[in-house]
Amino acid sequence: MTKNRITSEEALAFHLEPSPGKFEISATVPMTTQRDLSLAYSPGVAVPCEAIAETPETAYDYTNKGNLVAVISNGTAVLGLGNLGALASKPVMEGKAVLFKRFADVNSIDIELDTEDTEAFINACKLMGPTFGGINLEDIKAPECFIIEQRLKEEMDIPVFHDDQHGTAVICAAGLLNALHISGKKIEDVKIVLNGAGAAGIACLELLKAMGAKHDNCIMCDTKGVIYQGRTEGMNQWKSAHAANTKLRTLEDAMKDADVFLGVSVKGAVTPDMVASMADNPVIFAMANPDPEITPEEAHEVRMDAIVATGRSDYPNQVNNVLGFPYLFRGALDIHARAINDEMKIACAHALANLAREDVPDEVAVAYGKTLSFGRDYIIPTPFDPRLIHRIPPAVARAGMDTGVARRPIIDMDAYELNLKSRMDPTANILRGINARARANQARMVFAEGDDPRVLRAAVMYQRSGLGKALVVGRPDDVKAKLEATGMADAVRELEVVNAANTMHLDSYKDFLYGRLQRRGFDKKDIHRLAARDRHVFGALMLAHGHGDGLVTGATRKSAHVLERINHVFEANAEHGAAGFTALMHKGRIVFIADTLVHEWPDENDLANIAESGARVARHMGLEPRVAFVSFSTFGYPVSERAEKMHLAPTVLDARGVDFEYEGEMTVDVALNAAAQKSYPFSRLTGPANILVVPARHSASISVKLMQEMGGATVIGPILTGLDQSIQICSTNATANDILNMAILAACEVGK
């Protein structure tokens, strides 16, 4: 598998652009009129204040407390980097906050406390208790993390959860349940060896013992060897609680005939000989990051019967905390829980284990480029499984209600599950699926404008992300200088730079182009200038001759000019069915506007063709198409000859017998608003449209730019369709990330 390489420059740029940091705050209520302000603040705000003072529980009704988690750290154990301090831990805590939002729609704020004093840390958290529905402790060194969490759990009435401990433990437990199921073993019978007696390791053993593992069957090891009863060196109260009655003294001794190895320690801690000495069908969870205690390849060389999990995404069975903490908090918040207890964590583990045993949805297979099914290489669900959001929180919530920590039990669990399904942003899954398909295709992508730093950055990101090979059209010395200027000098050797001066194919390119254009007024001098000096034409010629799989261009010239140049090489015009679709993504919705690129003033037949092309694009991106022909009139009123073609276009599709929903003509609100659609019960649309076919290119351009500038929509496109080759045209104001997205679309052959 191609490794995903991330450079320091990319990581810094990601955190810097488009604005510093990883999230912002936005209002959920209108704030436009004086009345709005009066309701939001003074005098209206006094009413909920009085209500909460009288009945504190109503804070969950009138404020965001019920969906707000604090991610709190003092930076004493940041990732594997050590004690970097509170301020340097902020990027990690912001990252944790956006994971809460992305995976479980939990609002989260990061808080970095500049103290290593345990009591000061505890007091600060307690004082902030009224603000939050839960607290996620993060990157706090041991043993202080144990003391802080235990005290806060005892003294606060909201869930307090140290993810470095319990998040790892829950996912580990879920995977182990399935690994033992496959091995035909029971948790109460197996011998478990754990290496790494820190926060995560201790939490793993505590949870497994709560789930039935026997105390003396669990051998914990640290850098000094086995933690046994009577040992005094390097001990503390948390290690002592797991001291076993055993004569074993080293990790090597402990591994003999062990059924399970759990590693939260360091690279290379386990040798092949240790694995060879384990019992039949051993289970090895080598969870050290970034490099495991032993790699799956090394383990399988000596034991083909081993089931191996790691903390890495490039191996099967990734033990990933993002499978746990978002959904644990989602379930806890939704019952207004006072705590997250062992029963809730165990319920989470069982729910995850059960989910992995079920058939895997098609979208997961598409995202990962392979079919997944329960077995030795799939014992834990993938982080992008869309079922997680509506399967794990209900299990957590039920456990919380059964154990008495729920302030507000959920009465209708079916309705709750439906609500969870509706919370997540579907556009995230669409974009993830496209990325996965691009990675599977490994396309050779031609970046035609190698003299632009944005294009060069996009090309480097494309290749380093493992998406395929980047071919840059440009001059080697110019490319080298521009990469050095952008801090990416190390990428010079990675990119393949192609131009007319260093290709052996120029003569065949010119012959091909002359054959196409000789009867359009172009002589051989014109052909040489086009083929040798115009990068858009040169890039298209590379594609036409199979010297690339996709083409991205347009960042430096207007799209009309670029399309004209491409049309010299391919039939990229309205007469041959070309069209452009711009995707608008906003507040969890995706809508395509067409035609935004090719047709100046389409007639009803052109509009029908555009609709059919749009349906193909939508399906290629994982959507079931619903087309609306939009105008300023709805179903014939008001009457206007300008709207007539929009009225006729559906009848053209009627005659063609297409296999997707379409309707028109109609105004945009009727097309997109389910409530407005109810006024037209005869409409053939079963829900809001996701493809808007507009009367002309100027109206398409106005619509897109208005939504982008005023509505804050994310814009992808225009996506060029109707060609035999995969070509995408960027806008001149595109960022490097925008250009990369267009390359990904080209790699997926969206629109081809």
To the question of pTM greater than 0.75 for the whole model, the response is no
Sequence-ordered list of residues with C-beta below 8 angstroms from that of 24, at least 6 positions apart, any chain: none
Cα–Cα distance measured from residue 189 to residue 550, given in angstroms and rounded to the nearest whole number = 56
Q: How many CA atoms lie within 13 A of 460 on its CB side?
A: 27
Name the helix (H) or strand (E) containing 716.
strand 714-721
Sequence-ordered list of residues with C-beta below 8 angstroms from that of 546, at least 6 positions apart, any chain: none
Q: Which two tokens stand for residue 263?
A: 């590693």
Burial track 600-620 (b if 16+ CB lie within 10 A, e otherwise): eebebebbbbbbbbbbbbbeb
Cα–Cα distance measured from residue 374 to residue 362, given in angstroms and rounded to the nearest whole number = 14
pLDDT score recorded for residue 281: 95
Mean pLDDT computed over every residue of the chain: 92
Give the pLDDT band (50/70/90) at residue 1.
very low
Cα–Cα distance measured from residue 367 to residue 429, given in angstroms and rounded to the nearest whole number = 9
pLDDT score recorded for residue 367: 61
pLDDT beyond 90 at 366: no
pLDDT score recorded for residue 5: 64
Sequence-ordered list of residues with C-beta below 8 angstroms from that of 399, at least 6 positions apart, any chain: 341, 343, 344, 346, 347
Of 317-326, 636-645, 681-690, where does mean pLDDT reach its minimum?
Answer: 636-645
Alpha helices, DSSP H only, in 211-361? 237-240, 251-255, 272-276, 296-302, 325-334, 342-356
Cα–Cα distance measured from residue 70 to residue 138, given in angstroms and rounded to the nearest whole number = 10
Sign of CA dihedral 345, 346, 351, 353: positive
Residue 587 CA, chain-centre distance (Å), reads 16
Q: Is 41 a catalytic residue?
A: yes
Give the pLDDT band (50/70/90) at residue 380.
very high
Cα–Cα distance measured from residue 728 to residue 743, given in angstroms and rounded to the nearest whole number = 7
Give the pLDDT band (50/70/90) at residue 482.
very high
Sequence-ordered list of residues with C-beta below 8 angstroms from that of 581, at least 6 positions apart, any chain: 592, 593, 594, 595, 596, 613, 614, 617, 691, 717, 718, 719, 721, 751
pLDDT beyond 50 at 560: yes
pLDDT score recorded for residue 365: 66
Q: How many CA atoms lie within 13 A of 461 on its CB side?
A: 23
Asked if residues 108 and 135 have their Cβ atoms less than 8 Å apart, the reply is no
Asked if residues 170 and 274 have their Cβ atoms less than 8 Å apart, the reply is no
- Residue predicted with more confidence, 585 or 653: 653
Sequence-ordered list of residues with C-beta below 8 angstroms from that of 297, at least 6 positions apart, any chain: none
Give the pLDDT band (50/70/90) at residue 426.
low
Phi, psi torsion values for 138, nearest 5 degrees = -150, 140
pLDDT beyond 70 at 334: yes
Q: Is 514 a catalytic residue?
A: no
pLDDT score recorded for residue 32: 84
* Beta carbons within 10 angstroms of residue 373's beta carbon: 12
3-class SS at 602?
coil
Amino acid making up residue 725 = Q
Asked if residues 385 and 355 have their Cβ atoms less than 8 Å apart, the reply is yes
Asked if residues 113 and 73 have their Cβ atoms less than 8 Å apart, the reply is yes
Catalytic hit among 41, 421, 524, 558: 41
Cα–Cα distance measured from residue 258 to residue 340, given in angstroms and rounded to the nearest whole number = 32
3 by Cβ neighbours in 10 Å (0-12 / 13-18 / 19+) ranks as exposed
Dump pLDDT digits (tens) for 120-134: 999 999 999 999 999
State the DSSP code for 581: E
Catalytic hit among 65, 90, 96, 191: 96
Dump pLDDT digits (tens) for 655-706: 999 999 999 899 999 999 999 999 999 999 999 999 999 999 999 999 998 9
